[in-house]
Chain A
Amino acid sequence: MTSDVPLLSIADLHAGYDGVDVLHAVSLSMAAGEFVCVIGANTAGKSTLLRTVSGLVSARGSIRFEGQELVGRPAHRIPGLGIAHVPEGRHVFPDMSVDENVMLGAFSVRDAADLGRRREHVLEMFPRLRERLGQAAGTLSGGEQQMVAIGRALMLAPRLLLLDEPSHGLAPKVVDELHDTFLAISRSGTGILLVEQNTALALSVASRGYVLESGRIVLEGTSAELSGNDAVRSAYLGL
């Protein structure tokens, strides 16, 4: 695989629900290992964008992952390609234990030794989960549930991690922890596409960003450029 093939390349993407488009001609590209964010207000279509990449929403246009077309593929075939999705909200399996939740992330991985290694890696990243392996995931705090969801996604050893508003509803201290976690994941070489309403957080961790407004990409640039952009500052950073 040559490095000039983008990790993810979205072109002229239209997608929506029940015949009504939410995304209009979206184009976006990221390189292997890159950390990119998409910022935007409520109902801009951020979650829809990630759900479309994951195959949960049907689409027109093109989504290429390492050169392979994703549009038209059923959702359950996407993770196997190396894409893990941490959905919006507390999407853990509430009645299952933390360990079961985490292990389920890689239920398609056959090699047992590999599984053990990945689990160890996840538990090193989230030591707090190790203390609660047997606890039902539904009884964890919000931040811990988010760790479970992220840990579950990491079990796939993805090359692209889709994160949907991971900071939503979490205490500032927990958000700080997540911040460090994202940087650690990124340093390990995993490409991250982060969607956030918390613009300050998103721009502090990602190296590049896109601004999504009513389903259209209206701006893109490095995080520094976006942070310095007057429109972004007034609309999204409240400055």
Chain B
Amino acid sequence: MNRSTLLRGLGLAVLLAVAVATPFLLDPRGYAIRVVCLALLFAAMAQCWNIVAGLANQVSLGHAAFFGIGAYTSTLLLIHFGLSPWLGMLVGAVLGGIAAFLISLPTMRLKGHYFALATLAFGEVMRVIANSWSGLTGGPVGISVPFAPPSFAMMQFKETRPYYWLMLAALVVVTLVFVAIRRSKLGYRLRAIKENADAAEVIGVDTTRTKITAAVISGMLTACLGTLYAQFQFFFDPDTVFGVASISVRMAMIAIVGGIGTAAGPILGAFFVIPLEEFANDLFSSRAAGLSQLVFGVLLIGVILIEPRGFMALGSRIRRLFGKGGRP
């Protein structure tokens, strides 16, 4: 092992230790820790999105479909059968994977905007179904996670701290999956497709199958995070978990702002976007509800205009400026 990987590993270990210890610095019943929890969760979600969009260049705007499937699956299984959300999460993951497979079949040959629009439509169809199938989902009024005595087994806790560690663990797991995929043969295939689909095909990459594999992994993980969200929020409705703005676009935005295709990008993006959003909401909510969204939107556009490849690219640009020679 050379010195720079050693330093890198050390840095990551310190960072993780700080992340694990952070809740002790925050008011356990306060507002800040909830915002951080959401930031961790959204970082993980953006990382899932990063698997298809960042590695294969398939910009999905329908990931809310998998997220909602996860949230509803575990919650309904808990309500009707008292099933532990951990098991519900696995069932949700399977269903999320199946949904990803089914939507992939017709959309995989689409490129760019067409793929984005088709996936967007898929997410919207799921939202409409969840709203109209009241018998199953409770419809537009939403659904509550039934209260259980706090325990790890039921994924319910009295305080916010355990949720924090749960979200942190989820983020670490999803990030490790992302890194593992990127380094695997699958990752090479995805990169090859992203950089040059025809050249990939003529060296024998099964482009359709490769893209579907990535989509299924991403869909399964996203569904798992839907369960975490449900357990954390205790209440949700179709417009929230299947929402275009609330979930699909936000996942994409976070990854893009942070740096699409990089492992750290979604994390940086989430810790920029989520607190900013909360702050904007706070600042303007009393005066004009829509204004916060506007300000938020403008800020994001600003970031993207300044550096379309996100904070990660901005970082290396600054490093280069100071002559330390970051990777281009």
Kindly specify which of A21-29, A89-97, A218-226 makes contact with the partner chain: A89-97
Say whether A107 contacts B203, CB under 8 Å: yes
Say whether A105 contacts B203, CB under 8 Å: yes
The interface residues of chain A lying within 8 Å CB-to-CB of B202 are 54, 56, 75, 78-79, 84-85, 87
Kindly specify which of B191-199, B281-289, B312-320 makes contact with the partner chain: B191-199
Looking at A55, A76, A87, A91, the one whose CB has the most chain B CB atoms below 10 A away is: A76
The interface residues of chain A lying within 8 Å CB-to-CB of B201 are 54-56, 75-76
Q: Say yes or no: is B3 at the interface (Cβ < 8 Å to chain A).
A: no
CA distance A84 to B207 in the complex (A): 17
CA distance A155 to B188 in the complex (A): 16
CA distance A91 to B196 in the complex (A): 7
Say whether A79 contacts B203, CB under 8 Å: yes
Contact for B192 among A75, A93, A149, CB less than 8 A: A93
Q: Say yes or no: is A156 at the interface (Cβ < 8 Å to chain B).
A: yes
Say whether B199 contacts A93, CB under 8 Å: yes
Name the CB-closest residue of B to A152. B203
**How many interface residues does B have (CB within 8 Å)?**
16
CA distance A75 to B206 in the complex (A): 8
Contact for A107 among B196, B199, B204, CB less than 8 A: B204
Report the minimal beta-carbon distance from B52 to chain A, rounded to whole angstroms. Answer: 18
Q: Say yes or no: is A74 at the interface (Cβ < 8 Å to chain B).
A: yes
CA distance A156 to B196 in the complex (A): 18
Binary CB contact string for chain B from 199 to 218 against chain A (1 if under 8 A, 0 otherwise) = 10111111100000000000
Q: Say yes or no: is A108 at the interface (Cβ < 8 Å to chain B).
A: yes
Report the minimal beta-carbon distance from A8 to chain B, rounded to whole angstroms. Answer: 16
Task: Please report which residues of chain A, range 81-113, place their CB below 8 angstroms from some CB of chain B when the two chains form the complex.
Answer: 84-85, 87, 91-96, 100, 104-105, 107-108
Which applies to chain A's interface (DSSP): helix, strand, loop or mixed? loop
The interface residues of chain A lying within 8 Å CB-to-CB of B195 are 93-96
The interface residues of chain B lying within 8 Å CB-to-CB of A75 are 201-202
Contact for A100 among B188, B199, B204, CB less than 8 A: B188
The interface residues of chain B lying within 8 Å CB-to-CB of A169 are none
Say whether B192 contacts A79, CB under 8 Å: no
The interface residues of chain A lying within 8 Å CB-to-CB of B192 are 93, 96, 104
CA distance A100 to B195 in the complex (A): 13
**How many interface residues does A have (CB within 8 Å)?**
28
Q: Say yes or no: is B185 at the interface (Cβ < 8 Å to chain A).
A: yes
Binary CB contact string for chain B from 205 to 239 against chain A (1 if under 8 A, 0 otherwise) = 11100000000000000000000000000000000
Q: Say yes or no: is B189 at the interface (Cβ < 8 Å to chain A).
A: yes
The interface residues of chain B lying within 8 Å CB-to-CB of A134 are none
Name the CB-closest residue of A to B209. A76
The interface residues of chain A lying within 8 Å CB-to-CB of B207 are 76
CA distance A78 to B206 in the complex (A): 11
CA distance A11 to B278 in the complex (A): 67
Report the minimal beta-carbon distance from B263 to chain A, rounded to whole angstroms. Answer: 16
Name the CB-closest residue of A to B201. A75
Name the CB-closest residue of B to A76. B206
Report the minimal beta-carbon distance from B109 to chain A, rounded to whole angstroms. Answer: 12
CA distance A54 to B191 in the complex (A): 21
Say whether A156 contacts B203, CB under 8 Å: yes
Say whether A79 contacts B204, CB under 8 Å: yes
Looking at B185, B201, B207, the one whose CB has the most chain A CB atoms below 10 A away is: B201
Binary CB contact string for chain A from 46 to 84 against chain B (1 if under 8 A, 0 otherwise) = 000000001110000000000000000011111110001
6 closest A-B pairs by beta carbon, nearest first, are A79-B204, A85-B202, A91-B199, A93-B195, A76-B206, A75-B201
13 contacts between A and B (CB under 8 A): A76-B205, A84-B203, A87-B198, A87-B199, A91-B198, A92-B199, A93-B196, A96-B192, A104-B192, A107-B189, A107-B203, A149-B199, A156-B204
**Chain A interfacial positions (CB closer than 8 Å to B):** 54-56, 74-80, 84-85, 87, 91-96, 100, 104-105, 107-108, 149, 152-153, 156
List 9 additional A-B contacts (Cβ < 8 Å) besides A77-B204, A85-B202, A107-B204. Answer: A54-B202, A76-B207, A93-B191, A94-B196, A96-B195, A107-B189, A108-B204, A152-B203, A156-B203
